[in-house]
Amino acid sequence: MLILRCRFITINLAPLRPSHFQSHKLFHTTRFFRTPNLISTPRITSSSLPTTRSISDEARFARSVLFIPPGVEIEELTDDMVLPGSNIVIGPFAGHSQIKQVEFVKSSARARDCPKDDLPEIAILGRSNVGKSSLINCLVRKKEVALTSKKPGKTQLINHFLVNKSWYIVDLPGYGFAKVSDAAKTDWSAFTKGYFLNRDTLVCVLLLIDASVPPQKIDLDCANWLGRNNVPLTFVFTKCDKMKAAKGKRPDENIKAFQQIIRENFKQHPPWILTSSVSGLGRDELLLHMSQLRNYWDQ
């Protein structure tokens, strides 16, 4: 069995159970790619294959637990193509990923008010206080870009940030903030439908999951809703630096428990990655993953 070694946890991914969920919308279809291979993709050698499994068993297993992007043949897969601290295979669409320039463009109250220039966008979604704004600041390496706060519910609008003049990061309002009124909760539900289902330029949703707390029903409901509606998502586990949780379980235990539940609902495990906005864990890896999603969408 393939074991993914992360920087501070080892996750043994068992084969997934089939389910009615369809997997990643963008990456389900087989298409030719036009960009050159920017990452070396060493060929698999006979010594790197398990002796007790046939290649097809291994291929089936790899497909069920790894995120294999377009342009990567399963026979070419080697351990070093998997980003550290993730199940994400890096393929030929990965390219320039660093953020050189970022500018705030606008805040929109409704999906129809969002920018209409057809640039690809990656949205950041998660519970209030999960660390959405902090992750954006970490990715762009600027403290003041997306406002962070200890007080949940700080981000109330759809905020578009233009990156390298070519794509958007979108900071969304958090869900599950206990103190919002029923009216505000209804608005959030209408907003999700409007934005996620109709935004043609949405490349992927980064669904942030707080690794310092056990799996939350509201996060699982959100993941299942996105899965059912074929909205491409990547699980980004946040606050992985909180190794000594004051109470409860450690991040690695919480992440394992979350993934176990996801395996029961998703035929193929969506991409996932460990991050910390405090230590910078997973920052460069996540940027690289975002670049391959964007470049594939953009072709």
| Of residues 97 and 155, the one with the C-beta less far from Mg ion | 155
Query: Quick one: 175 or 196, whose CB is closer to Mg ion?
Result: 175
Give the one entry of Mg ion, ligand GTP, none that residue 276 binds, where binding means its C-beta sits below a cut-off of 5 to 8 angstroms depending on kind.
ligand GTP
Looking at 20-28, 56-64, 178-186, 234-242, which segment touches ligand GTP (CB under 6 A)?
234-242
| Residue indicated by tokens 């406002």 | 147
Strand partners, 5: 10
Q: What is the DSSP letter of 277?
A: T
- Our finding on whether 179 is near ligand GTP (CB under 6 A) is no
State the burial class of residue 7 (Cβ atoms within 10 Å of its Cβ: 0-12, 13-18, 19+): exposed
Interaction partner, residue 278 (Mg ion, ligand GTP, none; CB < 5-8 Å by kind): ligand GTP
CB of 221 to ligand GTP, least distance (A): 17
How many C-alpha atoms does 176 have within 13 Å on its Cβ side?
A: 16
- What does 120 bind: ligand GTP, Mg ion, none (CB cut-off 5 to 8 Å by kind)? none
Q: Which of residues 109-148 bind ligand GTP (CB under 6 A)?
A: 126, 128-134, 148
Q: How many residues bind ligand GTP (CB under 6 A)?
A: 23
Burial class of 246 by CB neighbour count within 10 A (0 to 12, 13 to 18, 19+):
exposed
Task: Report how far residue 119's alpha carbon sits from residue 77's, in angstroms, rounded to the nearest whole number.
Answer: 31
- Residue 170 CA to residue 123 CA, distance in Å, equals 4
Round to whole Å and give the CA distance between 76 and 70.
12
Could you say which residues in the range 256-295 bind ligand GTP, by CB under 6 A?
276-278
Burial label for 260, CB within 10 Å (0-12, 13-18, 19+), is exposed
Residue 133 is a binding residue for Mg ion (CB under 5 A): yes
What is the side-by-side order of every strand in the sheet holding 158-163? Answer: 102-108, 158-163, 167-171, 121-126, 202-210, 233-238, 272-274
- 128's contact among ligand GTP, Mg ion, none, with CB below 5 to 8 A by partner kind, is ligand GTP
Partner touching 271 among Mg ion, ligand GTP, none, CB below 5 to 8 Å by kind: none
d(CA 293, CA 117): 19
**Least distance between Mg ion and beta carbon 155 (Å):** 3
Q: Which residue's CB is nearer to ligand GTP, number 3 or number 178? A: 178
Q: How far is the CB of 275 from ligand GTP (least distance, A)?
A: 7
Based on CB atoms, which residue is closest to Mg ion, 132 or 289? 132
Give least dist CB 26 to ligand GTP, A.
25
The C-alpha atoms of residue 90 and residue 230 are separated, in whole angstroms, by 22
Q: Which of 155, 275, 292, 295 binds Mg ion (CB under 5 A)?
A: 155
Which spans of this chain sit near ligand GTP (rule: CB under 6 A)? Answer: 126, 128-134, 148-150, 152-155, 174, 238-239, 241-242, 276-278
Which spans of this chain sit near Mg ion (rule: CB under 5 A)? Answer: 132-133, 154-155
